[in-house]
Homo-oligomer: A and B are copies of this chain.
Amino acid sequence: MVETMPGDALSGGPEDDFLRLDQQVCFSLHAASRAFNGVYRSALKDLGLTYPQYLAMLVLWEHGELPVKRIGEHLRLDSGTLSPLLKRLEAAGHVERRRSSEDERSVTVRPTEAGAALRERARAVPRRIAAATGLPLERVRALREELNALTAALDSADPVAASPCTAESD
């Protein structure tokens, strides 16, 4: 019977280095994302928003009024995630949803007055987050660029998750 002990001869190949390195990258990303989420959780508690709800409000504050579809494009989320999220934002009085009269399939979302007022209170949030990162702004900017490039690469490499028409079909 073969014992698969850690550090054994069985796990000495370069494949395992790959495995280990790889694990670090994706896991670091995963952990950093959750750590950010935790800090936002604290920062947003006063506003009664979760982090994804905050992202949705950012989009709406910036664009004023958008169909669900457009919000999804900004956040890279589909209706399966957005519909319940927006319903919760509506229940909390932050947004208003109504069917478009031009296209009855579409639902237009926009901040209520209370939702717009919330923006003022949200102004304090980014400062807290920036302080928590402990990084200079340039560093943050560089990191952002790299992550965006990485996301684009991953999306285009994964024909399932990416937009169906992204891959060249010629």
Contacts and interface: CB of A to CB of B under 8 A. Distances in A.
Nearest to A162: B38
Interface in A128-155: 129-135, 137, 139-141, 143-144, 146-148, 150-151, 153-155
B39 A148 contact: no
B31 A157 contact: no
A96 to B, nearest CB: 13
Given A28-B148, A38-B154, A63-B6, A126 B22 contact: yes
A92 interface: no
A25 B154 contact: no
A15 interface: yes
Contact of A161 (B32, B38, B76, B116): B38
Interface of A: 4-6, 11, 15-16, 18-36, 38-42, 51, 55, 58, 61-64, 75-76, 111, 116, 119, 122-123, 125-127, 129-135, 137, 139-141, 143-144, 146-148, 150-151, 153-155, 157-158, 160-161
